[in-house]
Amino acid sequence: MNAGEVMMTYDNEFDTLSQHFAAICREFDTFSQKSRQDNLSARLVYDQNITVLQRCKQQVETSLSHLKAAENDEMSRHYYDSAKKSLAAFKESLKQAQMKVSSARPMPPFFF
């Protein structure tokens, strides 16, 4: 099997993962915009989670780019699995951050 055939094997998987990633990125962007405009407590919780979320996003981007450039079936399988795991971790991290931000209570004025 040559590189073109390998890519055809993983094109559908790549497209599916890319679509899921795009949807999670849209959700992440909406969450970021909303959290930056929220109360101080929510912004502080958001700031504590943003680094992890950005790292997860970067990891998915890297895995997807490696999958797209894979030269053989073994590499494609490895990067496909890696991209799937990274995407699941990104989605879970975003979900956890959303729960933390939504449960952040406004600080009483005497803490300012």
**What pTM does this model have?**
0.83
Say what the pLDDT of residue 56 is.
Answer: 97
Tens digit of pLDDT for each residue in 87-104?
999 999 999 999 999 888
Contacts of 49 (CB under 8 A, 6+ apart): 93, 96, 97, 100, 101
User: Which residues in the chain land under pLDDT 70?
Assistant: 1-9, 107-112
How far is residue 109's CA from residue 66's CA, in Å, rounded to a whole number?
49
Say what the pLDDT of residue 2 is.
Answer: 46
* Percent residues over pLDDT 70 in the chain: 86
